[in-house]
Amino acid sequence: MRLFYLLLIFPFLSLKAAPIDDLSTFRRHYQQLFPQLNLQDYANGSYAIDFISRQSWLSIEEFPPYIFAIEAGKILFETPFKNGNSYGDCFKNNGIAIAHLYPVWDSEHSEVITLAKAINDCRVDNQLTKLDYKKGEITQLLAYMAYTSRGKIINIKISGDNPKALAAYQQGKDYYYQRRGQLNFSCALCHIQNAGKHLRAEMLSPALGHTSGWPTYRLKWGEMGTLHRRFISCHKQIRAKSPKAQAIELRNLEYFLTFMSNGISINAPSTRR
């Protein structure tokens, strides 16, 4: 019944398609919906299609509020831990220009590792406490690391020969299309079926490119926040119980959604409403 319902609402969707086929279908859907846009435009979220708001956004970008997070993140990133190690020691290429490669599949632990989780794993490995996954210092570190990847193309790898990685991807995909909460909404209902339409005063952004700008200084929050903070906010808006930030469900969701943004360049950190 659920399969029939989803196919009725999203006739272009194949629930068991290979990731590369999903990506092709995603792009084709938005090309038909917004033929005036090229692929890289989707890095700008709703500002790619909301031309009135775009003018205000461009003005803000002249002196963006996230600039302070980048500066603070650089200091945090380069400051040695008490044991003499630093964040760079935990990552390939010393953590510089790698953000566009996350999330990754960790075969050793059979789970999706997001960049935020990798940062906290690094801290734990160096006998430090975990940072809050929604705001605060984690956003500064993510802002700096993402900034070093600006302009690089999102390139998430999902091996067709790895059934566990494919299962995690599929779980993230299922979560995206599943309706939940008192309002009975799904992520896809807003950002695929109704992308470009208004929900009250807000234009619903396309799902394509959704992960390219995080962390974000959100005007509604008045501060920096992470992608998982936004996931949780969406759950609240539809009156649904949300998993905690960096729970397996949300990491798998990020895995799916970021793969759907493959080919789009990182422009994080960013400013959003």
The CATH number linked to 197 is 1.10.760.10
Among 18-27, 44-53, 264-273, where is mean pLDDT lowest? Answer: 44-53
**Nearby residues of 6 by Cβ (< 8 Å), 6 or more positions away:** 13, 15, 177
Residue 144 confidence (pLDDT) above 70: yes
Residue 7 confidence (pLDDT) above 90: no
Active site residue 122: no
- Greater pLDDT, 9 or 211: 211
Specify whether 249 is located in the same domain as 186: yes
Taking all residues of the chain, what is their mean pLDDT, rounded to a whole number? Answer: 92
Residue 153, beta-bridge partner list: 265
- pLDDT single digits (tens) 107-120: 999 999 999 999 99
In a domain, 152, yes or no: no
Single-letter amino acid code for the residue at 136 = G
- pLDDT single digits (tens) 28-64: 999 999 999 999 999 998 899 988 888 888 899 999 9
* Per-residue pLDDT band at 5 (split at 50, 70, 90): very low
Q: Which pLDDT belongs to residue 14?
A: 59
Specify whether 71 is located in the same domain as 58: no
Q: Which pLDDT belongs to residue 199?
A: 77
* Per-residue pLDDT band at 166 (split at 50, 70, 90): very high
Specify whether 50 is located in the same domain as 183: yes
| pLDDT > 70 in the chain, percent | 94
Two tokens, residue 68: 């302070």
Specify whether 265 is located in the same domain as 166: yes
Please tell me which residue in 90, 122, 187, 234 is annotated as part of the active site: 234
Two tokens, residue 174: 């299922």
Residue 267 confidence (pLDDT) above 50: yes
- Of the residues 100, 119, 147, which one is the last residue of a structural domain? 147
Supply the DSSP symbol for 242.
-
Q: Nearest 10 degrees: CA dihedral of 172, 178, 181, 184? A: 150
- Of the residues 120, 147, 174, which one is the last residue of a structural domain? 147
